[in-house]
Structure 1
């Protein structure tokens, strides 16, 4: 009884300190400390955006990493974009596309578009950009998504065909999510290292300056094919700590940042020059139960036990203040192939029984849980709360907090321990999530079982929509049975925005400065 009482007191303390933690509480937002410069905004032509980490590279089609992608999409354009509100695919550098047969896709390209150095955009640039992904020497983290592409064929200057070795029904999704167009002549002339530092694209903004771990500066492309940008100068400033981002925002040094912790929303709203913008994201958040690591989580019963022991409803209520949509499987409801799955209800007794069936007493387990700090809303606080929930049944959990870039490196290099927190998005269709997070070769996978991968391989080439949806539904149920993850929630994106900046969050999380103005 005494042990139970201590546990209850500890949890009350955790919840209180989580809701008021110094790391997310920020600074005083009273009027005396607010940035009272509203009258000056009418003449502003620049914007400063704070993000959590530097880009891994400025070379397109290389780094599967949100902080890289969100910056370089202002420099490079895609062939296919997404509608900011719905996520539906829409034309960009490609005006139309056609599935000629199961092995051939044809794209018609926009004419009259130029790269920042004046070179023409054409089919050769598209071929070069895809061939770059396919070339193993380039070490593109996108390559595993494109391995079935056999050849890119230039039909004429403004028409290109992508030929595949196997049926590739998700080609449009792959092009929309992955592919950005590079200038072949420039890359060949200066080499990959220089092109990765001083990029050239067709986008709304040109490269100006990049100082590692400090900032990236861009300037407007006045010849942009889609019109002149209203914002003329852009600075992406790298500010890893939330408290520093908030202080800089309230003092007027930055105009916009994403991933506001829920316990700071009212502080920002109370500032006379600030507002909160929000949108239901396509990103999913989860705890990977890492069976690449040689530990207890190789046993399915242990993974199932952890699912029963973690109370996601409590996490949503006490740590996220309800800002998220609970998931029971690997896909969010916004996903094209989503199917309803029967999740693990919170049942500590069932968790203990499963551990004993696997040959463990709860007290025998000392697990690790890796988390980034400030990459996702309340990520460190969520990790600490999960550790406390597992402690309730006797499992000891050591929480390790990583800088974001190091967190990704540890996942890619298979250096993670038992569990790690990660988000994945945009996640609009099943293959891009399931193939990339549950197969052996995928760089961000934390789970692999041969039987599951075999089912994934069977589902990928299915063109018939009903057959494809059923196949991915079966895989979702299988992954829940295998307890590959502890699914958490579909993320709610919260942005701190200067009150005079016209900014509307996108469902795909991209921050397109071309869409903003003062």
Structure 2
């Protein structure tokens, strides 16, 4: 009966949102900026315009773990190795590599590469980039690169990367967020603050203009070492409101729009000149739970009650229109180390949740705060509102703190969240190791304050284990620990919905959610 009640509540909420959203989409006029259509080429320029639900976080590639930011950065920065659209590793700034021993890798670097400011790319840039993120514990990507002990410069185009133990996924680490090469000479001469204002990389596109929370404009890099860039200019527009983003697509203001609400898919499909592209992602929506002593959620019974009070399947069915899969783990199928017993399962049991709260001393209920971004993820606001209602059903009063992404991210980076915050993480490494980047006690300090020495030891051993069968079992054991301790309450694996101008461009979504614009082609 309770499940039916929650599902009905979800459906009513969805219908209310959908009704308002559809009306707004149909009647919302173009913004002033959208009068210059993405299809306009009077100047002869090939211009691509992409609408996202949020702006980039920063040009500090080491101090964010935001996929939508990296989706822009991949056009400006190159890695030593890169993944193609099939997630296969390919040479990029490194032309070849080999493992010299268990802890030493040699990389031969591409010659003749220049940064956007004209500085040559050399081994010194590799050393600066990787050692910066590997040694500075304040950086958000530190946990994914602390395994690098040293980068030795052999000559201008040869480096040895020394790790603190065997690294079975080093190449995966070097092909993802945090591994874009930074201009060491420029930063050392001008300072990092100047770099943040005027960032340069080696990629096919360089920065022309950035108006925060409005638009970011890239122009082609005529000195790019690879294939000639296909677009003269690429505009990434930040449009948090779903209705406005969809309207801009339907009226020709943008060529591609991300995070299309399920309720608008048919409108886009049935509109002449627009089409829908859908695909799976590695992204899992979760609640991060503060376990700091003295907080209400430090009690394991409270955390379990929160988990059991949430009808994840109702969220997937009614808010996402079936576009997701419930999960109790962040390591989804397709990632090394996945535990099938935790995927596709939910523990929804509101009566037991009430019992656990009573046992924890909250028979009359308790009050907590849930922070959530609004506009960053597909239906994030509606998901948070439904979770608020579900927790209210078992006696947990939730103060919902909805924030635009830039404000949310500032609070997140400062580790200033309250008892709960909702966030979704991808897995650009396609390996279980990345799913635990926020779980170790060192990284969790100040965020969840989760401290499990047994888990720390297990993760350290798995990280350097070259025996794949043993390593897989270690990560599966680690997932069971996290599922039981609940520093994170995993909700569902997300799908991706895109809308695009089918008269003008050809577009196929990538599993890693990246947007390398030269894979988006202009129709002739």
TM over 0.5, shorter chain = yes
TM-score by length of 2: 0.89
Change (3 A) 1:268 1:487: same
Query: Which of 432, 435, 439 is residue 433 of structure 1 equivalent to?
Result: 435
CA contact (8 A) 1:341 1:480 kept: no
Q: Deviation of residue 8 (structure 1)?
A: 8.9
Question: Which residue of the partner structure matches residue 485 of structure 2?
Answer: 482
Q: Deviation of residue 425 (structure 1)?
A: 1.4
Question: Which residue of the partner structure matches residue 220 of structure 2?
Answer: 220
Equivalents in 2 of 1:307, 1:392: separation in Å? 13
Equivalents in 1 of 2:3, 2:474: separation in Å? 45
CA contact (8 A) 1:437 1:444 kept: no
Question: Which residue of the partner structure matches residue 143 of structure 1?
Answer: 142
Equivalents in 2 of 1:352, 1:171: separation in Å? 46
Quote the RMSD (CA, aligned, Å).
3.1
Structure 1 range deviating more: 369-378 or 341-350? 341-350
Q: Deviation of residue 438 (structure 1)?
A: 4.9
CA contact (8 A) 2:11 2:319 kept: no
Q: How does 1:161-200 map to 2 (within 5 A)?
A: 161-177=160-176, 178-200=178-200
Q: Deviation of residue 504 (structure 1)?
A: 1.7
Query: Which of 492, 503, 510 is residue 507 of structure 2 equivalent to?
Result: 503
Q: How does 1:395-474 map to 2 (within 5 A)?
A: 395-427=396-428, 428-442=430-444, 446=448, 448-451=450-453, 452-474=455-477
Equivalents in 2 of 1:281, 1:372: separation in Å? 19
CA contact (8 A) 1:371 1:421 kept: yes
Q: How does 1:221-240 map to 2 (within 5 A)?
A: 221-240=221-240
TM-score by length of 1: 0.90
Question: Which residue of the partner structure matches residue 292 of structure 1?
Answer: 292
Structure 1 range deviating more: 238-247 or 442-451? 442-451
Q: Partner of 2:117: helix, strand, or coil?
A: coil
Q: Partner of 2:118: helix, strand, or coil?
A: coil
Equivalents in 2 of 1:11, 1:492: separation in Å? 19
CA contact (8 A) 1:268 1:276 kept: yes
Change (3 A) 1:303 1:8: same
Question: Which residue of the partner structure matches residue 31 of structure 2?
Answer: none
Q: Which runs of 5+ in 2 are unaligned?
A: 29-33
Equivalents in 2 of 1:4, 1:329: separation in Å? 22
CA contact (8 A) 1:106 1:159 kept: yes
Question: Which residue of the partner structure matches residue 51 of structure 1?
Answer: 52
CA contact (8 A) 2:45 2:232 kept: no
Q: Partner of 1:313: helix, strand, or coil?
A: helix
CA contact (8 A) 2:305 2:353 kept: yes
Q: Deviation of residue 142 (structure 1)?
A: 1.8
Q: Which runs of 5+ in 1 are unaligned?
A: none
Q: Deviation of residue 161 (structure 1)?
A: 0.8
Equivalents in 2 of 1:104, 1:443: separation in Å? 31
Q: CA deviation digits over 1:279-315, x for unaligned, max 9?
A: 1011111122222374221111221122222111111
Equivalents in 1 of 2:291, 2:89: separation in Å? 35
> 2:330 aligned with 1:326, yes or no?
no
